[in-house]
Amino acid sequence: MMYSPFRHINAVFSKKNPIHLTFFITRRCNAACPFCFYLKAADSRQDMKNELSLEEIRKISLSFGDLLWLAFSGGEIYLREDLPVISRVFYKNNRPAIMLFPTNGLLPVRIREMTEQISKIAPGAP
Task: Sketch the per residue contact string, 83 through 102, with ligand SF4: x for CB under 6 A, - otherwise.
Answer: --------------------
Give min distance, CB of 35 to ligand SF4, in A.
7
Beta strand 20-24 with 98-100 is unpaired
* Residue 117 found at the interface with ligand SF4 (CB under 6 A): no
* Residue 107 found at the interface with ligand SF4 (CB under 6 A): no
* Helix (H) or strand (E) run with residue 24 in it: strand 20-24
Helix, coil or strand: residue 69:
strand
Write out the binding residues for ligand SF4, residues 27-86 only, by CB under 6 A: 29, 31-33, 36, 38, 74-76
Nearer to ligand SF4, 12 or 106 (CB): 106
Residue type, 66: D
DSSP letter at 53 equals P
**Cβ neighbours around 118 below 10 Å, total:** 19
Which residues in this chain contact ligand SF4 in the complex, by CB under 6 A?
29, 31-33, 36, 38, 74-76, 104
